[in-house]
Amino acid sequence: MSVVLYHSPMSAYCRSVLLVAKAVGVPLDRRIINVFENEQFKPEFVAINPQHTVPTLVDGDLVLWESRAILTYLVGRYGKDKTLYPDDVKVRAKVDALLYFDCGTLMQRWKAVVVPLMGGSTHTPSPESLKQLHEALSWLETMLIRHKGKFAAGTEDPTVADFALVAGMSSYEACGFFQAETYPVLGAWLERCKKVMPGYQEMAGDDAAKFAELMRSKMNKA
């Protein structure tokens, strides 16, 4: 039985799942949900996920629709080693902390920038939302410095935290809200991720660029 992923290519959350699935080598039956056409509200999808969100993963009798839970599940179920989600308690605590930071802080501040634009209530991000986003990016820069590793949790190899974070960072960079010269450590980390993550351009970079085009079209409206 195939592993089914309902997803939107425009979603950073979905891109993180695609990247991890590629890394662990699990093939996905990919089914696109066009959220701009409200396909997530179709009865057949709501029957699968009453919260009607993407990504949604169906693996046999298991249904998951929180992206970071999907990441750790895919690694635990299909990963060939513990590199992506290490067993070491302290390292895993760092990985988990970064996942929670991405979910509860960084992506929330990104949503404050992007949701008003996508909803058409404004054509420019508010100065306060940009300030809040850059504050969170500066915190992440500090975390990377303190962890003293090639990757976000201080590891020599990427973990699921890197995959979650890089999916969002691909959007920030493509949309012009992140410049490596402002955050040199974060910029160097991002370049490492691009080089070592299998299928980065196909699974994240290309669709982040398409999302940026959509964002610019919203911002350029008079």
H or E segment and range at residue 78: helix 67-78
SS3 140: helix
Residue 108, Cβ neighbours under 10 Å: how many?
Answer: 13
DSSP-based three-state secondary structure for 12: helix
Q: How far apart are CA 118 and CA 68, in angstroms?
A: 24
H or E, element range at 48: none
C-alpha radius of gyration, the chain, whole number: 17
Dist CA 82 CA 70 (whole Å): 16
Distance, CA of 9 to CA of 16 (rounded, Å)? 10
Angle between helices 160-174 and 184-196 (to 10 degrees): 110
Of 144, 178, 168, the closest CA to residue 71 belongs to 168
User: By C-alpha distance, which of 175, 184, 176 is closest to 210?
Assistant: 175
Give the whole-angstrom CA distance, residue 92 versus residue 153. 8
Catalytic residue among 8, 11, 16, 67: 11
To the query of whether residue 11 is one of the catalytic residues in this protein, the response is yes
Enzyme catalytic residues: 11
